[in-house]
Chain A
Amino acid sequence: MAKKYLEKLLVDGNEINVVATRGAIVDKKYTTEARKIASFMINKLGLSFGNVEFKILDNDEFAENVALYEMPLPSWEAGQEKLLQEDRMKYRQGVLYEMVGHPFYNRLERKEYTTVFINQNDTYDEILSVMAHVYGHLHIEYNNKLAKSVHSNYNKHEFYRDRYREMEKILSIEQLEQLYDHAQTLSGLMDLFPDFHKAKKSDYYSTERINPNSDVYDVYKFTLNNVKFNPWEKELLEMMYDINQLMKTARIKIMHEGFATFVEDKYATEVAKTDAGTAFKMREGILRVADVLSPSQLPYYLGFRLFKDIENRWNEGRHGPLYELLSEDEKRNYIKREDKGLFEILEIVKSYTDWDFIFSYADNDFFKKLAKEIEEKTNKLIERQYADSPANVVNMVKDYYNKKIDPNIFRFQLLMRTENYGPMLYVPKGSFNGDRLILRQDLSFLKRYTGIIPEEQRKNFEREAAQMFGLYNEDAGEKQETALALNRIASLWNIPVSLETMNKEGKPLTVTSNGKKIDVSEKGDGPKLDD
């Protein structure tokens, strides 16, 4: 290939390759564009990532790839996902523009590539914009501590699929799918928060022969170790355990989408210097995802605004303890050119998760700006769209603005809206004797994130926390969900399973299932609040 138009892309001193393909053929036009954008990202913004292959696919292939990424086994759920995605693309509703797939090893070139799927029905400008967006994702995948630590053995997925099909032949599909569903329910109880547990002292571990001899947070693994399964059941459950490791990345969702939109915006600014028309279209696309506050777009909106805010503050030096000491008036007029915005953002992206990110950077000033913005848009688009759903984000921000909810609770609410995983549950030390499984809720992270709460605010905080973190409250179909999930876990264990949570008043509540029936009592210890 003539490399005249291609300059070398160097990341950390190594040359990387960026290529766009259509089927088996290299698409020269998009390869050139992709390399141009990559060069901007690396040299101007200082991003880093590995080899990339953009695969430009039609609707059918794209839908299949999305389905396979999210549900690697050929189950009914994957079929549903594919139909859903196809449907969305057919009617252009809630369409996915891109998806970052798993890395794969190219045997010919002896390099590892990350695949990125792009829909060929997007317009030319959209594809350029999407490529810029994707480099943001790739940077996080390449650099973030948590993203790096998530290991699902994606190379094995193909093997898993084959095994699943073999099992289907030997057993019946219904039987297999029943266990598959159970495993999916159980997958919410994997240990998704390993960094949340406080380090234990050596005397914490019991020397007596009790089961378990320390608090077990990975209920999935505990189930695998303590229930007697058939060999095929055990194999399927282990497969699902490996696959569901990927759920952990849900914890950097806001940063992922926010950062990607941020660099996309940077690229649009660069394009504007030479080609105002394209830049305008790109900006339009960005505003489309990061300006309308709908639940599915919350990560984009929140992340993008927050990164923009951080950039401004760090560029103008409005941060740090000395700045905080100033009065309101002084703060307004304070400017100290530092131009450290981008640097700060790249540092955040390296090691933070959403929880740290929101709690350390989304301060009251930021939320006030957000609320003001939303206030200005009232009666326009947003109001009409979400007027009939009380629990929506817009109302949450308004409530916050009117000082109806605690700022910390507001942060927790925002985080929960964007993340798709269950609560932290654990099997308490020494609680398992074979005839009952106890799952206790752990809320000790609340105190760690909020710090010390003043006495007058505490009652309010606790009341709201109880409403929010109770797992068996009336509203939003949650009670039914919990009951169904508990029934499934109990039928898997074949013994009663108790969930220790709290009711709306914050009093302990124990929900027990024997596989068919739910029994609720107000006894029990309730959730754990202290370390």
Chain B
Amino acid sequence: MTSELGDAEDKYRRKIDREDDLILSSTDIRDINDGNTVIKNIPLKRNPMIAYSGMGDGEGEGEGDGNGDDSGDNGEGGKQGGKVRIGVDKRRLKEMMENWGLSFSKPGKKNKKLYQLLTAENGVDENQEKTIEAMLDRQMATGYFQKNGFKIDVRDEDLRYNFIDEREIPNLSATFVIIRDISGSMESYGEFSATIAGLIEFWLRIKYNDTVKIRYIAHTTDAVEMDPKKSQDFFKLVSNGGTAFQPVYQLVLDMMDGKPYNSISPYKEKIEYESEDVFILHITDGEGESIQNVYPTLKQVFPRLTKAFYLQVGGFNDDFYKAFIGIGKDKASAVKSGNDISYGNVKKVLDKLLN
């Protein structure tokens, strides 16, 4: 049966995206990053009507399954009852993020396309065998062959070409360093930070075909690398210390240089900044001690990065924010946000960070 409904389902999906009905928590995003499909319940949407109270759902979904289970779904009064289960997987999340205007195209410089060309001049060549076949077919069909016998007479409509074989160079890999301020003032921003970090991680995974290494750095006045296998704990970390930025970027520098550094992760690895793309996400409230100290280190780090994201949650001090943009220039993208985990805000933050 041909699909009479066409893309009605897509329209519905677009509508729930537009109206922010589909809310993904950080746990969902982690599951999607692991390759699972997350099932979300969306309440049924109905157009409002002027109606009496206590109206039935009147939809005609009569015959239940006998266990009475349908009552939970059909609900009392019916109008608000009912749910649609929507599965969200990698493909769908990618679609959604593309709808937000985020692009997944690869960085231009290092990902050239390789065209396997068969003739140097035109970019295409005629496939002689197929062309002759086509010519013969035509001659047979028109009766030309019967009259004149075999004769090479290639016309425009007989020409057959080879396909262009288009290949991409295998992808580069990337390292994504998530730096999180775990001082006491950051406690309430865990979920929000995890959501944004998860979505950026997802974005990178798609971009680099899953060859992304994630590194976690937690810092107060000291910085330490955390175990990447325990990512869910990372966003729950809280400490009493103050905040300083210099040790963080010193740690990143040491990781890149292969020097010994402070770590409780069992996997110690050098960040190969020369052969890989390196991304950094720094989440903090921007309230740090002696910010001047960090400038020289930042100036050393930035040339080695592909892109640096800075997410300032809460906080009133913009000094580091300004320094980050000032030194990073094109490579830095920074955003200030409240602790609002609503879809609109998440979209806004990502929009600013990734574009």
The reply to whether A80 and B5 form a contact with Cβ atoms under 8 Å apart is no
* Distance A70 CA – B1 CA, assembled complex (angstroms): 18
The reply to whether B76 and A288 form a contact with Cβ atoms under 8 Å apart is no
Q: Which residue of B lies closest to A94 (CB)?
A: B70
The reply to whether A161 and B64 form a contact with Cβ atoms under 8 Å apart is no
Cβ of A18 within 8 Å of any chain B Cβ, yes or no, is no
Q: Which residue of A lies closest to B78 (CB)?
A: A295
B237 CB to nearest A CB, Å: 39
Residues of chain A within 8 A (CB-CB) of B45 are: 76-77, 80
Cβ of A184 within 8 Å of any chain B Cβ, yes or no, is yes
Residues of chain B within 8 A (CB-CB) of A79 are: 5, 7-13
The reply to whether B5 and A481 form a contact with Cβ atoms under 8 Å apart is no
* Distance A294 CA – B85 CA, assembled complex (angstroms): 23
Q: 0/1 per residue, B45-57, Cβ < 8 Å to A?
A: 1011111111111
Q: Which residue of A lies closest to B49 (CB)?
A: A188
A127 CB to nearest B CB, Å: 13
Q: 0/1 per residue, A283-304, Cβ < 8 Å to B?
A: 0110011001011111110000
Q: Which of A87, A93, A299 contacts B69 (CB 8 A)?
A: A93
* Distance A390 CA – B6 CA, assembled complex (angstroms): 41
Residues of chain B within 8 A (CB-CB) of A95 are: 63-65
Which of chain B's residues 31-88 have a Cβ closer than 8 Å to chain A? 44-45, 47-66, 68-71, 73-80, 82, 84-86
Residues of chain A within 8 A (CB-CB) of B105 are: none
* Distance A84 CA – B60 CA, assembled complex (angstroms): 13
Which of chain A's residues 36-82 have a Cβ closer than 8 Å to chain B? 61, 64, 67-68, 70, 74-80, 82
Residues of chain A within 8 A (CB-CB) of B68 are: 292, 294, 381, 385
Residues of chain A within 8 A (CB-CB) of B13 are: 79
Q: Which residue of A lies closest to B82 (CB)?
A: A84
Cβ of B3 within 8 Å of any chain A Cβ, yes or no, is yes
Cβ of B4 within 8 Å of any chain A Cβ, yes or no, is yes
Q: 0/1 per residue, A488-521, Cβ < 8 Å to B?
A: 1000000000010000000000000000000000
B35 CB to nearest A CB, Å: 22
* Distance A420 CA – B58 CA, assembled complex (angstroms): 5
Cβ of B236 within 8 Å of any chain A Cβ, yes or no, is no
A353 CB to nearest B CB, Å: 15
Q: Which of B11, B12, B54, B74 contacts A94 (CB 8 A)?
A: B74
* Distance A189 CA – B69 CA, assembled complex (angstroms): 34
Q: Which of A79, A184, A300, A381 has its CB near the most chain B CB atoms (within 10 A)?
A: A79
* Distance A61 CA – B84 CA, assembled complex (angstroms): 18
The reply to whether A417 and B56 form a contact with Cβ atoms under 8 Å apart is yes
Q: Which of A64, A184, A296, A418 has its CB near the most chain B CB atoms (within 10 A)?
A: A296
* Distance A485 CA – B47 CA, assembled complex (angstroms): 8
The reply to whether B5 and A64 form a contact with Cβ atoms under 8 Å apart is yes
The reply to whether B50 and A485 form a contact with Cβ atoms under 8 Å apart is yes
Residues of chain A within 8 A (CB-CB) of B18 are: 174
Q: Which of B8, B11, B57, B84 contacts A295 (CB 8 A)?
A: B57
- A74-B8, A185-B47, A482-B50 in contact; A94/B56 too (CB < 8 A)? no
- A94-B65, A417-B55 in contact; A499/B6 too (CB < 8 A)? no
Residues of chain A within 8 A (CB-CB) of B3 are: 64
Task: Tell me the dominant secondary structure on chain B's binding face.
Answer: loop
Q: 0/1 per residue, A91-108, Cβ < 8 Å to B?
A: 011111101000000000
Q: 0/1 per residue, A178-211, Cβ < 8 Å to B?
A: 0001001101110000000000000000000000
Which of chain A's residues 125-172 have a Cβ closer than 8 Å to chain B? 158, 161, 165
Cβ of B15 within 8 Å of any chain A Cβ, yes or no, is yes
The reply to whether A97 and B63 form a contact with Cβ atoms under 8 Å apart is yes
* Distance A391 CA – B55 CA, assembled complex (angstroms): 10
Q: Which residue of A lies closest to B13 (CB)?
A: A79
Cβ of A422 within 8 Å of any chain B Cβ, yes or no, is yes
- A93-B70, A94-B64, A292-B68 in contact; A74/B52 too (CB < 8 A)? no
Q: Which of A188, A478, A485 has its CB near the most chain B CB atoms (within 10 A)?
A: A478
* Distance A285 CA – B5 CA, assembled complex (angstroms): 32
Residues of chain B within 8 A (CB-CB) of A297 are: 62-64
Residues of chain A within 8 A (CB-CB) of B71 are: 294-296, 385-386
Cβ of A475 within 8 Å of any chain B Cβ, yes or no, is yes
Q: Which residue of B lies closest to A92 (CB)?
A: B65
The reply to whether B61 and A299 form a contact with Cβ atoms under 8 Å apart is no
Q: Which residue of B lies closest to A174 (CB)?
A: B18
Cβ of A405 within 8 Å of any chain B Cβ, yes or no, is no
The reply to whether A392 and B51 form a contact with Cβ atoms under 8 Å apart is no
Cβ of A389 within 8 Å of any chain B Cβ, yes or no, is yes
Q: Which residue of B lies closest to A184 (CB)?
A: B47
Q: 0/1 per residue, A433-451, Cβ < 8 Å to B?
A: 0000000000000000000
* Distance A469 CA – B54 CA, assembled complex (angstroms): 10
Residues of chain A within 8 A (CB-CB) of B15 are: 76, 177
- A64-B3, A389-B76, A417-B55 in contact; A96/B70 too (CB < 8 A)? no
Q: Which residue of A lies closest to B68 (CB)?
A: A385
The reply to whether B49 and A485 form a contact with Cβ atoms under 8 Å apart is yes
Q: Which residue of A lies closest to B3 (CB)?
A: A64
The reply to whether A471 and B52 form a contact with Cβ atoms under 8 Å apart is yes
Residues of A within 8 A of B (CB): 61, 64, 67-68, 70, 74-80, 82-84, 87-88, 92-97, 99, 158, 161, 165, 173-174, 177, 181, 184-185, 187-189, 250, 253, 257, 284-285, 288-289, 292, 294-300, 381, 385-386, 389, 391-392, 413, 416-423, 425, 468-469, 471, 473, 475-478, 480-482, 484-486, 488, 499
Closest 8 CB pairs of A and B: A420-B58, A94-B70, A79-B12, A79-B8, A188-B49, A484-B48, A184-B47, A79-B9
A76-B11, A80-B45, A469-B52 given; 12 more Cβ-contact pairs under 8 Å: A78-B5, A87-B85, A88-B70, A96-B60, A296-B56, A296-B71, A385-B71, A418-B58, A419-B56, A422-B52, A476-B54, A476-B77
11 residue pairs bridging A and B, Cβ less than 8 Å apart = A64-B4, A76-B11, A82-B9, A83-B84, A93-B69, A94-B73, A177-B15, A189-B50, A284-B66, A294-B70, A295-B75
